[in-house]
Amino acid sequence: MNHQKTFSNGDSRRDFIKKALTGTAALTVGGILPGFSAKSYGRILGANEKVRLGVMGVNSRGYALASNFALQPNCEVVSISDVDSRAAEKCINAVQKIQNTKPKDVPDFRKALEDKDVDALVIAAPDHWHAPAAILASKAGKHVYLEKPCSHNPYEGELLVAVAAKYKNVIQMGNQRRSWPNVQQALKDIQDGVIGRPYFAKGWYTNNRASIGVGKETAVPSWLNYDLWQGPAPRRAYKDNILHYNWHWFWHWGTGEALNNGTHMLDLMRWGLGVEFPTKVSSSGGRYRYQDDWEAPDTQVINLEFGKDKFMTWEGRSCNSRNVEGSSVGVSFYGEKGTLEYGGGNAYKIYDLDNKIVKDVKNDLVIDPRNKMDPSQALDAFHFQNFVSAIKEGTPLASGIVGGHQSTLLCQLGNIALRSNSILEIDPTNGHILHNKAAKKLWKREYEKGWEPTI
């Protein structure tokens, strides 16, 4: 049995980040950080110029991203943009304490894009803003760190791919497990044939979310710029159960649990099976637990076929937190010679066909996949540094926008199959839906006049 550890128990998160960047942290996968050498890190840390970041959307996940980027010695957060003045103030104060310089308060992120001091925009606003904001940032000559999912709908994902090709900027999607060292090793093990030819992958996410109730129309709070919050989405009246997190469950702004959390696991499954676009997609599920305004399914299964030799399935349960394989989130890969089981953190196990453990890769850092804000601060530094190195040195991205779109599209196709009550036939060359007019209508959304994203 092979036991490995990535971090020592004595490392605090901040100490780990510092040690990783200076080459003194002991990592399982060779080198200082994945894809970097000591020499390249010396160049980054020795440079006078930091990557200067504007952060858009800082109420929850964006607050964690801004704080974590501020911890990076080769980054500086220079502006904070949020439609909620309370969230902006809280984040500005937190970042100032970390980096000892105060970011500007720029409520409208479009103004931040006009600032020559901003090299890159970090986007953690609601899903309906992800692609439109990234497109505006790209057109303004900025690099982009884009939280998953990269788009609200497939049309926007294709726009992002075209934008990156046109403007040649760096766009990294925030499916951060692509940069975690033991996850990279797990996927390498699969590619090296440790479990033989992988042909099936199963992913899951579980939680126990409360009802969002029935919202009431009410006056827009004084601290909120609701018009800017809605942005590209056609206007709807403000209700008291939309902000801040519940927008995830409304199709108008959100994308359901499949893209909220499923994106991570479907991305790993696509990576491990070595596939791009599916050939057939089906999905079942519904809103079963509560009778309220929640529109997306709280229980859902998505099935994706890739030709006749590979298949994956994802199970999402938003309102029943019973674990699968002992973990609230994870992926299992099944091959001709065994199984690789990944539980959502920076650890994994490999079993032979007799269910005996042949490899057990451990990690001492505690990961909480159900934490809405910051489930894995120290590990996320790997992804951030990959983003910085791509900007400074042209290092290949762990999660570029082409792959980010492909993984996001798997979830979107699952939702489209569910919403159109149909089994989708897919063109495996580009992911487009074939022979289904009803489903094709969900490929793109309607936009508020004047807010349409354009290349």
Neighbours of 206 (CB within 10 A): 22
CB 103 within 8 A of CB 92: yes
Residue 9, pLDDT > 50, answer no
What is the structure's pLDDT at 17?
A: 42
The residue type of 394 is G
What is the structure's pLDDT at 370?
A: 58
Residue 148, pLDDT > 90, answer yes
Q: What percentage of the chain exceeds 70 in pLDDT?
A: 87
Backbone angle region of 415, left / alpha / beta, with phi > 0 → left and psi within -120 to 50 → alpha: alpha
In angstroms, the CA 149 to CA 405 distance is: 8
The residue type of 285 is G
Which band of pLDDT confidence, cut at 50, 70 and 90, is reported for residue 24?
A: very low
Torsion, CA 317, CA 318, CA 320, CA 326, rounded to 10: 60
Which band of pLDDT confidence, cut at 50, 70 and 90, is reported for residue 142?
A: very high
Stronger pLDDT, 17 or 7, i.e. the higher one: 17
Residue 310, pLDDT > 70, answer yes
Note the pLDDT tens digit of each residue in 188-235. Answer: 999 999 999 999 999 999 999 999 999 999 999 999 999 999 999 999
Of the listed ranges 24-38, 214-228, 340-354, 416-430, the one predicted with least confidence: 24-38
Average pLDDT in the 170-192 region? Answer: 97
Average pLDDT in the 282-297 region? Answer: 98
User: Residue with structure tokens 């925009």?
Assistant: 121
10-16, Cβ contacts within 8 angstroms, sequence gap of 24 or more: 11/378, 13/377, 13/378, 14/71, 16/365, 16/378, 16/381
Which band of pLDDT confidence, cut at 50, 70 and 90, is reported for residue 21?
A: very low
Mean pLDDT, rounded, of the chain: 90
Name the DSSP class of 311: E
Residue 127, pLDDT > 50, answer yes
Which band of pLDDT confidence, cut at 50, 70 and 90, is reported for residue 405?
A: very high
Please name the residues in contact with 180: beta carbons below 8 A apart, sequence gap of 6 or more.
346, 376, 379, 382, 383
In angstroms, the CA 151 to CA 232 distance is: 12
Which band of pLDDT confidence, cut at 50, 70 and 90, is reported for residue 403?
A: very high
What is the structure's pLDDT at 364?
A: 66
pTM over 0.85: yes
In the structure, how many helices (H) and strands (E) does the chain have?
A: 14, 17
- The two most distant CA atoms of the chain are separated, in Å, by 62
Note the pLDDT tens digit of each residue in 79-105. Answer: 999 999 999 999 999 999 999 999 999
CATH numbers and ranges of domains, the chain = 9-178+384-393 (3.40.50.720), 181-366+401-440 (3.30.360.10)
Q: Considering Cα of 222, then 228, then 230, then 235, what sign does the dihedral take? A: positive
In angstroms, the CA 263 to CA 240 distance is: 28
Give 26: exposed, middle or buried? Use CB within 10 Å, 0-12, 13-18, 19+.
exposed
